[in-house]
Amino acid sequence: MTSTREAAPAAHSAADLRPYEAGRDAASPNRNLTPVTTGIDPEGRLVVGGCVLSDLARRYGTPLYVLDEATLRGTAQAYRKALASHYPGSALALYASKANSSLAITAVVASEGLGLDAVSAGELLTAVQGGMPPERIVFHGNNKSLEELRLAVELGVTVVADNWLDLEQLASLQPTHPVRLMLRFTPGIECHTHEYIRTGHLDSKFGFDPDQLQAVLQHLSQCSWAQVSGLHAHIGSQIFELQPHRDLAAVMADALKLAREMGHPVSDLNVGGGLGIRYVESDDPPSIDAWVRTVAEAVAVACQERGLELPRLLCEPGRSLVATSGVTLYSVGSRKDIPGIRTYLSVDGGMSDNPRPITYQSQYTAVLADRPEAEASDSVTLAGKHCESGDVLLKDLALPPATTGDVLAVFATGAYNASMASNYNRIPRPAAVMVHDGMAEVVQRREQPEDLLRYDVLPERLRPVA
Ligand code: LLP
């Protein structure tokens, strides 16, 4: 597959730009609304990665996912740096690729020295073809197919055993070399986030019940094909609190002690992901440094208290690693004023490219790409183009008067947008471009309407008679 790297028309160097977001935290992009390279050019237009956003919209069409490589790299480096400075042992951050799985993102993350968490054959293939070394990949899933497990074993990645069926199926594959296994269990920790993205409480479909851990470890002592290399737990996503992560460290250290006492030389403790990001001004997530420090110190202390040799510390950031590098561009279309009620401004995408508002009532921040600083004298509801009343991207958005054709930029869409996109209403998925130093490259081509018909089959007997 080839790609074209093009200098964006009207590319800008950082020197031409005024900073856009006041008080930006350069060291922790998850605390910002916009990519770290965001600026305003002399014409007052929004620029990301040296590219004028409205030019990208004209060149590549809308909706368009824009990914800022510098923000992505900076975030990966922030995780590495924090782990190196706060954890006394070795450590590795694994990118939870469910947040946004693509060859280009994998390649960037791999080149920054991170590992990766995959949950399906598709994510595994993307990881391997994107250049992630198999020894840095872990394979998750609460209902892995036999074929997926076979692929994981062939590739030599670490398998996260989630349930008894995983163990039975792995055994049935009769692996010829020991399979590195990580055991996932539900730690019984509650945290404050949306119900759908909470996973650590006991009533969860993921992982072994903690009461079963001993039996699982006992069983695995008899399995010559298995090498229990790690333990895993994950408490949820978009979490702003730090205390649940401290509590998790203690629960995991107890499990580590148990496993080692039972003769399993477990080396890895994987605390999952979950650090939140800023979607709207009022969000105030901890920094990457504060999160890693909390986790690292808590794990180190919990292990010391139990007299345990320090494990390698693994974590699995998804959202906090990619969300802020992403901006989605839309074109404004129709407008409907309902006097005394509201004004709908419709854009050319919606719940098919960003299902988060309709699924989790998530909030976002948006501006006009060419007039981000103009007086926001209008209040509009930003509607998508799908045949569903709930297809609303943003409610009561303060915006300067906008007209058809204006380009709208929605921030912090790098995580769980492209990866959760659908073809509802047979709408093709958007293209994605990666921007860097005034250059833009397509990293995911725009789907075409014909692509959507590729898997349809019209039986002979149903064909219209000429
Ligand atoms: N590790 C495991 C085992 C996970 O299940 C997840 C997320 C992560 C790591 C990464 O968590 P993060 O750092 O991104 O919070 N679609 C939802 C989020 C679902 C998260 C699922 N698991 C959303 O759009 O908010």
Q: Stretch 153-182: mean pLDDT, rounded? A: 97
For 359, the token pair is 């699924």
For 202, the token pair is 């006991």
**HSE toward the beta carbon, residue 376, CA cutoff 13 A:** 11
User: Which residue puts its alpha carbon closest to atom 7 of ligand 1?
Assistant: 237
Q: Using the atom order of ligand 1, give the atom closest to the CA of residue 239.
A: 15
pLDDT in the model for residue 15? 79
Q: Which residues contact 418 (CB under 8 A, 6 or more apart)?
A: 65, 100, 102, 326, 353, 429, 430, 432, 444
- Choose the catalytic residue: 51, 191, 303, 387: 387
**HSE toward the beta carbon, residue 4, CA cutoff 13 A:** 6
Rounded to the nearest angstrom, the distance between the alpha carbon of 266 and the centre of ligand 1 is: 25
pLDDT in the model for residue 21? 87
Rounded to the nearest angstrom, the distance between the alpha carbon of 316 and the centre of ligand 1 is: 9
User: Which residue puts its alpha carbon closest to atom 24 of ligand 1?
Assistant: 416
pLDDT in the model for residue 193? 65
Rounded to the nearest angstrom, the distance between the alpha carbon of 174 and the centre of ligand 1 is: 32
Q: How confident is the model at residue 199 (pLDDT cuts 50, 70, 90)?
A: low
Rounded to the nearest angstrom, the distance between the alpha carbon of 35 and the centre of ligand 1 is: 21
Q: Stretch 203-212: mean pLDDT, rounded? A: 92
In testing the pocket of ligand 1, which one of 119, 195, 237 has its CB within 8 Å of the most ligand atoms? 237
Beta-strand runs (E) in 49-187: 51-52, 64-68, 91-96, 115-118, 137-139, 158-161, 179-184
The end-to-end CA distance of the chain, in Å, is 40
In testing the pocket of ligand 1, which one of 241, 288, 319, 358 has its CB within 8 Å of the most ligand atoms? 319
- The rounded distance, in Å, linking the Cα atoms of 291 and 136 is 22
The closest of 283, 316, 322, 317 to 412, measured between CA atoms, is 322
Pocket of ligand 1 (CB under 6 A): 96, 98-99, 117, 140, 197, 199, 234, 237-238, 272-275, 316-320, 356, 360, 416, 420
Q: How far is CA 190 from CA 247, 251, 361, in A?
A: 10, 13, 21
191: annotated active-site residue: no
pLDDT in the model for residue 195? 60
Q: Using the atom order of ligand 1, give the atom closest to the CA of residue 236.
A: 15
Q: How confident is the model at residue 180 (pLDDT cuts 50, 70, 90)?
A: very high
Instruction: Using the structure block, give the residue that is written with the tokens 């069926």.
Output: 165
Q: Using the atom order of ligand 1, give the atom closest to the CA of residue 232.
A: 3
Q: Using the atom order of ligand 1, give the atom closest to the CA of residue 319.
A: 14
Rounded to the nearest angstrom, the distance between the alpha carbon of 312 and the centre of ligand 1 is: 22
**Torsion angles phi and psi, residue 153, rounded to 5:** -65, -45
Domains of the chain with bracketed CATH: 5-68+324-452 (2.40.37.10), 71-322 (3.20.20.10)
Q: How far is CA 43 from CA 10, 20, 54, 362, in A?
A: 11, 13, 12, 32
For 318, the token pair is 């998804």
CB 352 within 8 A of CB 388: no
Q: Is the per-residue pLDDT at 11 higher than 90? A: no
CB 293 within 8 A of CB 286: no
Q: Is the per-residue pLDDT at 61 higher than 60? A: yes
Q: Stretch 385-408: mean pLDDT, rounded? A: 97
CB 423 within 8 A of CB 352: yes
In testing the pocket of ligand 1, which one of 316, 321, 361, 419 has its CB within 8 Å of the most ligand atoms? 316
The pLDDT tens digits for 262-321 are: 999 999 999 999 999 999 999 999 999 999 999 999 999 999 999 999 999 999 999 999
The pLDDT tens digits for 343-387 are: 999 999 999 999 999 999 999 999 999 999 999 999 999 999 999
- The rounded distance, in Å, linking the Cα atoms of 24 and 36 is 8
Q: Which of 49-58, 202-211, 396-405 has the lowest mean pLDDT?
A: 202-211
Rounded to the nearest angstrom, the distance between the alpha carbon of 272 and the centre of ligand 1 is: 9
63 preceded by a cis bond (ω within 30 of 0): yes
